[in-house]
Structure 1
Amino acid sequence: MILIANTKLRLYITEVVTLLYILLFVYAAVSKLLDFENFQVQLGQSPLLSAFASWVSWLVPIVELLIVLMLIIPTSRKKGLIASLSLMTMFTAYIFIILHYSSFVPCSCGGILEKMSWNVHLIFNIVFMILTTVAIIFSNSPDGHDNSSSLLKSVKWISATVVLSAGTVIILFLSSEDIMHHDNPFIRRYSQHPVVFISAKDLKFNSYYLAGSYNNKVFLGNFTDPLHILSVDAGIQNSKKNTIVFDPQKIPFRSVKILVRGRYFYLTDGSVPAIFRGRISNWKVTKELKGIPYFTLVSPVDSSTIAFRSNNAKNAANVLGTFNGESDPKIIYHRDLLQAQGGGIFDTDGTILFSEELKKTIYLYYYRNEFMVIDRRGKLVYRSHTIDTITHAKIKVASLNNGKQFAMSSPPFSVNAHAAVCKNLLFVHSEVKGKFENDKLWEKSFIIDVYDLNRKSYLMSFPIFHTESNKLNSFMVTPSHLYALIGNNLVVYEIRPVLKKEMKLN
């Protein structure tokens, strides 16, 4: 009687576990298929499966339904339990890696499980793995005779299933990470709150621009009032207006811009051309960097060296160069850096940045997915790409005045609208939507992609949300904050540890 009761109990436990898995997998698969687009987006944000989201999003619900079919059919029930253990092991390994080895934690996968925390989800999966293990052992010896042969056979199957399933997830994780960081198929990783909004300040006018930062202060220039600099503290609560002491005499300035680099400020105008330097301690111009050529972009490298872009190449094409007021020759053009795709003017347009910590200049193209890292002497360190797929500038150029002037004949397709650099990180405001991305997020925010210049890799993305305006004029990043000019507002975000830990020099 005891043997019969034991046999009935084993059969009952096996049936209950089987029924639980049928209910779980049917619910999970149907939930995924009913909200398939959202499920695919969530997989696209996964640190383990980003690179494989396209086919994994279909494979998972199909496998779940196939396992249900195996569990329903009595002759394939044992195989179904092994398959259930395999899939549940994969899910458990997935959660464990996310919690302990992932650079960030994404959202859950939907349904009831979406209401669980990741730790509760992990415990839930482990409990189901234990139940499956018991059911497999019982199904191999339903009469209650747990002889060493049948028990050893069950242990072998269970061990092999767990090891192979966990190993598969580990391989997927390592492969996906390598693909995402170095050969990204245009899938963004939205980390959980790498920056957090602190406050916004209404500047009343949209003519301000970010001139630089130093010693926990941010400096803003004004195109319509070029000799006045607004300095604000890190939290943008307190501000002060500074006046640059300078006698312009009869210099025909047309487009003055102030740049702050460390203790120095630079008064620049490429149409003169002229660059003057002074200290921010008294805002007094004390030196002119004489001999600078005409330029369209400029970025100070040190107190005497300037990286610039001018139009003195053939057919007024763009060319990069360096100027050193204390060397001979003072001007060196690096004509092999910018690579033209159609004239060399608009197709090579971009922005020039300088990392004071890396001592490197970065040139980012506006209309294609490419940027260059250049050393202080103007020599190319390497070329790299942003994660979008726009390799060729989508612009149309018309020649005017018998080929002496050029203009865009249609609006250009902008790829990288704005950029900033802080230590080893390049921040790019992208205007191209990637795979598995939410339309509503793009409608209400600006997307910032982050790249590690040392590792030549993509790291993560995050949104900066609209204020009263939906136009981002520029932004700047310091080791502790991100500042953005959105319409008339200066907005400040705090850099959180998940992003701050990536700021390093080696």
Structure 2
Amino acid sequence: MILHNKIKRNAVDIICLLYILLFVYAAASKMLDFENFQIQLGQSPLISAFASWVAPAVLALEFLTALLLMIPKFRMAALFLALSLMSLFTVYIFIILNYSSFVPCSCGGILEKMSWTSHLIFNMIFVLLAGLGIVLHHNAERTYKSRKKAFSVLLKMIFTVGSSAVMIIILFLCSESIMHFENPFIRRYPQHPAMFERQLDLKYNSYYFAGQSHGRIYLGNYTAPLHLKSADARLRSLKAEKIVFDANGILFQKPIVSVQESFFFLKDGTVPAVFRGNTSDWKINHEIKGMPYFTQLVHMDSIAAGFRSNDGKNLAHILGVFSENARPPVKYSGKLLQKQIDGVFDTDGVLLYSEQVQRLVYVYFYRNEFIIAAKKGDLIRRGNTIDTVSKAKIKVAYLKGKKERTMNAPPLIVNANAAVCGNLLFINSKIKGKFEDSKLWEQASVIDVYDMEKSMYLMSFPIYNLQDHKMGSFFVTRDRFFALIGNSLVAYRFRDILKKEFKNGGFVQN
């Protein structure tokens, strides 16, 4: 009997030693690269919202468990703690592999070299070892009276594993809700939702995205307004088009072109003038009359548009809609833009239109807010980007008796640019979130993706620099992301993790 108990104790010693080596090594490797470990937890699809306290808690528990395993008096309690931790880790990986929205990178140490499936098997083996250690330790130390407690030990083991599983499931559900709807400024970077596909050398950097028509992406040229280039979705062919138009004495100052399927528009808000033509022959055949002065204009169809102008009192920005067939043709929506400082710089932003869901979208440059409006200019909802800059951080100086104004200091840009496609809003953010690598922000531009229908943050992905040139403007279709970077037009192909977020329909139509 004594020899039998000695074998059990030796087996328990070996199990404890394996756990001590595992926890000390794992905790030490995480501690030596704690920032990276915290970043990895911040990118986890399960516990992103709790990464700030989960990271130090895991380290503390691993070190504590290893220490308690060295002390015979606390060995049984330490084995139960080890069983709980390894159960947590095992259920965590099982949910990652089967129920999470994406599979992140692994979390360091010896396990960093393992696949997630190997990692799961490794953890399950250690769960069984902890259970075996508890049984052997109990049997080796028990007396005649304590034999009746064997069943209670088994129940405690079942409860430990079950409560650990419930705990990680609750953390997962709570974290998902917080990340999507109450995001604490933690971005999620799934593995390659947008894959680099191809780039074209345009020779010059004077191009901008004009729109799309019949599967081709059109680029306008600021220095040659009547000349366009188009490329197919995979950037395999590049074509040149020239608009046929007689200006007839119109003093254009900043003319730009936009393309929307069968139609194209030549417009200049400083005149103001808007002309329409057909992409079949690239000839101007109609002048849209009655358009007010505008600083931005997005076409909703061949006769209707959303625009941004300035009111007559203090030149503050104001949004409105125009319809050639309506009477009156112009309707201003004075309550859409909300003044914080001067009504001009603080309300600056980019006006967009999603043809698929027929919604106007306005994204502020200097605060974490965007506006969704109906085709008639009525407010639907206000949304927020995940950063915390709720008030524009700008300083305005007034010149010439307060008749002119200028920026008194460089502003804090929150959202540099944006694009919409269907129910999704893509924003180029300039604010680094929690648990993010500074090198990434030096090497790339970060795109945040939002579902406008559900008012929720989805994910983020980087668009990397080309020869030290950062991304300028960008354009989005249902399967690709196009960017102008330096002199190049670059195409990224969306993977299923992002493509599945596009909805057919979406908002209730007008």
- TM-score, normalized by the shorter chain, greater than 0.5: yes
Q: Which residue number in structure 1 is paired with residue 118 of structure 2? A: 120
* Counterpart mapping for 1:308-323 below 5 A: 308-323=307-322
Q: Which residue number in structure 2 is paired with residue 236 of structure 1? A: 235
Q: Deviations over 1:391-433 (max 9, x none)?
A: 1111111112222221112221111001111111111101111
Query: What secondary structure does 1:250 align onto?
Result: coil
Output the TM-score relative to the length of structure 2.
0.96
Alpha-carbon distance in structure 2 between the residues aligned to 1:472 and 1:168: 42
Alpha-carbon distance in structure 1 between the residues aligned to 2:178 and 2:450: 14
**Residue 445 (structure 1) shift:** 0.5
Kept after mapping to 1: 8 A contact 2:464/2:470: no
Q: Percent identity?
A: 51
Kept after mapping to 1: 8 A contact 2:27/2:62: yes
Q: Deviations over 1:314-372 (max 9, x none)?
A: 21000000001001111010000100111100100000111111111110000110001
**Residue 4 (structure 1) shift:** 4.4
Query: What secondary structure does 1:259 align onto?
Result: strand
Q: Which residue number in structure 2 is paired with residue 134 of structure 1? A: 132
* Counterpart mapping for 1:30-109 below 5 A: 30-109=28-107
Alpha-carbon distance in structure 1 between the residues aligned to 2:13 and 2:399: 81
Kept after mapping to 1: 8 A contact 2:463/2:471: no
Query: What secondary structure does 2:57 align onto?
Result: helix
* Counterpart mapping for 1:309-348 below 5 A: 309-348=308-347
Kept after mapping to 2: 8 A contact 1:255/1:269: yes
Structure 1 residue 352 corresponds to structure 2 residue 351 = yes
Which shows bigger deviation, 463-472 or 192-201? 463-472
Alpha-carbon distance in structure 1 between the residues aligned to 2:274 and 2:157: 73
Q: Which residue number in structure 2 is paired with residue 452 of structure 1? A: 451
Q: Which residue number in structure 2 is paired with residue 182 of structure 1? A: 181
Q: Which residue number in structure 1 is paired with residue 480 of structure 2? A: 481
Q: Which residue number in structure 1 is paired with residue 258 of structure 2? A: 259
Kept after mapping to 2: 8 A contact 1:322/1:377: yes
Query: What secondary structure does 1:316 align onto?
Result: coil
Alpha-carbon distance in structure 1 between the residues aligned to 2:318 and 2:141: 84
Long gaps (5+) in structure 2: none
Q: Which amino acid letter does the alignment assign opposite residue 373 of structure 1?
A: I
**Residue 116 (structure 1) shift:** 0.5
Alpha-carbon distance in structure 2 between the residues aligned to 1:174 and 1:314: 50
Query: What secondary structure does 1:251 align onto?
Result: coil
Alpha-carbon distance in structure 1 between the residues aligned to 2:62 and 2:168: 17
Q: Which amino acid letter does the alignment assign opposite residue 148 of structure 2?
A: S
Which shows bigger deviation, 332-341 or 133-142? 133-142
Alpha-carbon distance in structure 1 between the residues aligned to 2:409 and 2:142: 80
Q: Which residue number in structure 1 is paired with residue 300 of structure 2? A: 301
Superposed structure 1 runs of 4+ greater than 6 Å apart: 143-148
Paired residues in the alignment total: 504
Alpha-carbon distance in structure 2 between the residues aligned to 1:456 and 1:215: 30
Q: Deviations over 1:52-94 (max 9, x none)?
A: 1111111111111111121111111111000000000110111
Kept after mapping to 1: 8 A contact 2:444/2:470: no
**Residue 5 (structure 1) shift:** 4.6
Q: Deviations over 1:218-250 (max 9, x none)?
A: 100001111111011111121111111221111
Query: What secondary structure does 1:152 align onto?
Result: helix
Alpha-carbon distance in structure 2 between the residues aligned to 1:67 and 1:203: 60
Long gaps (5+) in structure 1: none
Q: Which residue number in structure 1 is paired with residue 462 of structure 2? A: 463
**Residue 389 (structure 1) shift:** 0.8
Query: What secondary structure does 1:403 align onto?
Result: coil
Q: Which residue number in structure 1 is paired with residue 18 of structure 2? A: 20
**Residue 149 (structure 1) shift:** 3.4
Kept after mapping to 2: 8 A contact 1:320/1:333: yes
Alpha-carbon distance in structure 1 between the residues aligned to 2:174 and 2:361: 29
Alpha-carbon distance in structure 1 between the residues aligned to 2:153 and 2:377: 66
**Residue 470 (structure 1) shift:** 2.2
Structure 1 residue 369 corresponds to structure 2 residue 368 = yes
Kept after mapping to 2: 8 A contact 1:352/1:364: yes
Alpha-carbon distance in structure 2 between the residues aligned to 1:490 and 1:390: 31
Query: What secondary structure does 1:142 align onto?
Result: helix
**Residue 12 (structure 1) shift:** 2.2
Alpha-carbon distance in structure 1 between the residues aligned to 2:390 and 2:476: 27
CA RMSD of aligned residues (A): 1.5
Alpha-carbon distance in structure 2 between the residues aligned to 1:93 and 1:160: 14
Query: What secondary structure does 2:360 align onto?
Result: strand
Kept after mapping to 2: 8 A contact 1:258/1:266: yes
Q: Which amino acid letter does the alignment assign opposite residue 219 of structure 2?
A: L
